[in-house]
Amino acid sequence: MFDSFTIQQFLFIWIGIALIIFPIQLFVSAPYGRHSKTTWGPMVPNRLGWILMEGWALVAILFFYIKYFNPNIYSLLFVILYALHYVHRGFIYPMRTRTKGKLNPILIVLFAMTFNSINAGLIGYYLSKVSIYPEDYFQHWNFILGIFLFISGFVINFKSDDILIHLRKPGETDYKIPKGFLFKYISCPNHFGEMIEWFGFMLMVWNWAGIAFFIWTVSNLLPRALHHHKWYKQNFSDYPKERKAIFPFLL
């Protein structure tokens, strides 16, 4: 049986791993999606891989939250918000994508499932066993700002993904330059929105598990956005020069 002290020690180690991996990922792009490589071993269809990678987070958080169930209304709300994101990300989104014939390495799928098992498990455990929220928590500044940022980030992420999905007509698999919405300013508003979303979640849950998850999110998505931006510029001679990678007008 875990105790909160042991979990907190593990969390510090887990955050340390994210900080170590971050600079590595600035130079080595994760080999899935447009950066997919067959040299990473056996491959699975992109859609199946995505369902396994992202859908597993939903399974993990529900397992730990139900195992150590806490009826506190705020803990339940945070689990529901987390679950809603991964219902969309793990099941609805991959069924909408037009990626027929594209493959991802099984190894990357297993890495992602491990990542989601740990992060979702830690969040579920903290919300069940560690974090305590008062009845008037909805009046606290971090809850108000957090839920606003979470919803805003989700909308940005969803809208950006919707634009990317509809760049391709049925049967098409080639890449195109996305336009409109925040794509006017940055190459990856979908990643930008997701980072805002999980920063808001971190503020709401107000615990070390939320902090760890946000750090891991940035560690993964910021380098990936930079690689996407570089890929766009290398593959499209007419790519907008004023467009940044992830933060409007900055980076």
> pLDDT digits over 163-218, tens only?
998 888 877 778 889 999 999 999 999 999 999 999 999 999 999 999 999 999 99
Burial status of residue 80 (CB atoms within 10 A of its CB: 0-12, 13-18, 19 or more): exposed
> Looking at the predicted structure, is the pLDDT value of residue 1 above 50?
no
pLDDT at position 30 is 73
Half-sphere exposure in the Cβ direction for 61 (13 Å, CA): 28
Phi, psi (deg, nearest 5) at residue 242: -80, -10
pLDDT at position 173 is 72
CB atoms within 10 A of CB 4: 13
> Looking at the predicted structure, is the pLDDT value of residue 15 above 70?
yes
Please report, for the chain, the start and end positions of each structural domain, with discontinuous segments joined by +.
39-133, 138-251
The separation between CA 239 and the C-alpha centre of its own chain, rounded to angstroms, equals 26
> Looking at the predicted structure, is the pLDDT value of residue 56 above 80?
yes
pLDDT at position 104 is 83
Over range 27-48, report the average pLDDT: 79
pLDDT at position 33 is 67
Residue with tokens 């940035």: 218
Over range 6-20, report the average pLDDT: 92
Cα distance between residue 200 and residue 125, in whole Å: 19
Average pLDDT taken over every residue of the chain: 91
> Looking at the predicted structure, is the pLDDT value of residue 5 above 80?
no
